[in-house]
Amino acid sequence: MRRGGVVLMVMVSVTLGTLCGFLSINTMQGARLPRGPNDAVTNPPGASSGQDGTCSKSSSLKRSYTRSEVLSGGEGEACPLPKRILIWTSFWGEQSFTWERIFFRQVSRRCPESRCELVYDHRLLDSAAAVLFHPGDMKPSYSLPATRPPGQPWIFLSFESPSTMINKVNLARLNGVFNWTMTYRRDSDVVVPYGLVLTRTAPLHLQKDYWSGKSNKLLAAWTVSHCNTESRREWFVKELVKHMALDVFGKCGTRKCGKSLFLMTIGTFNQTECSNEIEKYMFYLAFENSICLDYITEKFYQALTLEVVPVVLGGGPYEDIAPPHSYVDALAFDSPKHLAKYLKEVANDRDAYNRFFVWKQHYTVELGHPFSPLVCDLCAKLHDPVSFSPPNANRNPMEQVGVLGAVRGRDGNGSYPDIQSWFVRGSVCRRWWQSAEGRRKHIHK
């Protein structure tokens, strides 16, 4: 009985502590009735992430603070205030659980600047340093905050290409809404790449024969779940398989290996087993569903971590971000037929194949979205006063020289007057051929 009584007392204590914390959140300045799909969501456990663990809770969740304190960051306080990031929308219909995964590096204090916290209650608008929106969840009937507190940036976040986004939301109605962009594009205010290539502090001196043990009977693999894409990569592959062997995994093929990779499926299948299967092949097709500016997804970065040569098809700056001689660019060849000829030649040449792995002695790869998104720069930017300095403009080079119809970036007022122009037109998305004549040229040459 005594043991049971102790357990009961602990449970009561925890419940009361949680209730007090909840009441503290909802008595903060500017509390207004919540709106939208996150009405009932309050700050989840562990969302506060002060640099010092002794400050993480007491400096935010258990006290109220004014808008002036938000702007000053609680300067002079024993425990500086964390910057509050208010999540206004869901993420593809998912609520706080998915956002916690997106910001895992932040909430687990793995960022160089970790004095930020995520909150979800719309009533905390006035105490937020920034408000984050996922436009894919902003349907035409979706409501924006009724007011915009001074100095508070509203952020446009997208991991997807415009080809995916434009069919789900009317971006034109969001002109003038956003102050910052947070995407994979390198001209974003906060860049969130799908991965990073890092230089090793000390090079490896490991000589390995990657060609040995492989067979050109397992020439290339492709894992794909979207069978009809804007890039028309499936048309490229349709011609490619006329000239070489290719095994296709996923919904669009006959072989199976795990599930479609997304935030909600990570950890639900044996990724190691799937990777081991891919590594039996000599090449892996890292073909993007959209050929857009800077759009290089986890397909490429994950392939770099394996003992397989990526064959890429995309619009990203591979030559700038990838290790030297680490991949084959499908679009550098006159046709799928010419690409197939080259891959078969490399597969039959030990030295030529092994040269694609020399880079591993000097570089390493860090995976971002969807494994562990590289979101740390947002918190760092919120703590940098220069980020809020006028005119806070981010103009496209063509716009600066007055080219008519050019992409419009952030203006001198600190907002994007035409977010559709910046995101869609500025991404210059295309298909793998430039025209109908180009398609005929690629297929039949």
At 280, which CATH number? Answer: 3.40.50.11660
C-alpha 59/C-alpha 82 separation (Å) is: 7
pLDDT tops 80 at residue 394: no
Same domain, 139 and 38: yes
Q: What is the pLDDT of residues 211-244, one digit of tens each?
A: 998 998 999 999 988 899 999 999 999 999 999 9
Whether 434 maps to a domain, the answer reads: no
Whether 16 maps to a domain, the answer reads: no
Same domain, 84 and 176: yes
pLDDT tops 80 at residue 15: no
Q: Write the DSSP assignment of 347-397 as a string of letters.
A: HT-HHHHHGGGGGGGTEEEEE-TTTS---HHHHHHHT-GGGG-TT--B--H
Among 57-66, 159-168, 291-300, 406-415, name the one with the lowest average pLDDT.
57-66
Same domain, 212 and 339: yes
Average pLDDT over residues 43-56: 40
Q: What is the pLDDT of residues 354-370, one digit of tens each?
A: 999 999 999 999 999 99
Whether 93 maps to a domain, the answer reads: yes
Query: 142: Cβ–Cβ under 8 A, 6 or more apart, which residues?
Result: 36, 89
**pLDDT value of position 197:** 98
Query: 284: Cβ–Cβ under 8 A, 6 or more apart, which residues?
Result: 220, 221, 222, 223, 278, 303, 306, 308, 309, 310, 311
Same domain, 305 and 287: yes
pLDDT tops 60 at residue 278: yes
pLDDT tops 60 at residue 338: yes
**pLDDT value of position 2:** 43
Whether 441 maps to a domain, the answer reads: no
Average pLDDT over residues 37-64: 41
Whether 327 maps to a domain, the answer reads: yes
Q: What is the pLDDT of residues 145-159, one digit of tens each?
A: 999 999 999 999 999
**pLDDT value of position 65:** 62
Same domain, 342 and 201: yes
Whether 3 maps to a domain, the answer reads: no
pLDDT tops 60 at residue 385: yes
**pLDDT value of position 44:** 36
pLDDT tops 90 at residue 247: yes
User: Of 407 and 191, which is predicted with more confidence?
Assistant: 191
Same domain, 188 and 206: no
Same domain, 102 and 147: yes
Average pLDDT over residues 100-129: 95
Q: How sure is the predictor about 162, in pLDDT bands with cuts at 50, 70 and 90?
A: very high
Strand partners, 139: none
Q: How sure is the predictor about 408, in pLDDT bands with cuts at 50, 70 and 90?
A: confident
**pLDDT value of position 251:** 83
Q: What is the pTM of this model?
A: 0.81
**pLDDT value of position 49:** 39
Which own/partner pairs from 197-204 qualify as long-range (CB within 8 Å, at least 24 positions apart)? 197/304, 197/321, 197/322, 197/323, 197/363, 197/364, 197/365, 198/363, 198/364, 198/365, 198/366, 199/362, 199/363, 200/361, 200/362, 200/363, 200/364, 203/361, 203/362, 204/360, 204/361, 204/362
Average pLDDT over residues 82-110: 94
User: Of 334 and 46, which is predicted with more confidence?
Assistant: 334
pLDDT tops 60 at residue 170: yes
Q: Which amino acid is at 388?
A: F
For 285, the domain range is 197-367
User: Of 131 and 268, which is predicted with more confidence?
Assistant: 131
Chosen domain end from 367, 382, 410? 367
pLDDT tops 50 at residue 3: no
pLDDT tops 50 at residue 25: no
Whether 19 maps to a domain, the answer reads: no
Same domain, 355 and 403: no
Domain count, the chain: 2
Q: How sure is the predictor about 55, in pLDDT bands with cuts at 50, 70 and 90?
A: low
Query: 133: Cβ–Cβ under 8 A, 6 or more apart, which residues?
Result: 88, 89, 154, 155, 156, 157, 177, 178
pLDDT tops 90 at residue 210: yes
Same domain, 347 and 230: yes
Same domain, 96 and 211: no
pLDDT tops 90 at residue 409: no
Q: How sure is the predictor about 304, in pLDDT bands with cuts at 50, 70 and 90?
A: very high
Whether 8 maps to a domain, the answer reads: no
Q: How sure is the predictor about 316, in pLDDT bands with cuts at 50, 70 and 90?
A: very high
Active site residues: 160
Query: Is there a cis peptide before residue 45, judged by omega within 30 degrees of 0?
Result: no
Same domain, 324 and 415: no
Chosen domain end from 367, 385, 414? 367
pLDDT tops 70 at residue 313: yes
Same domain, 215 and 164: no
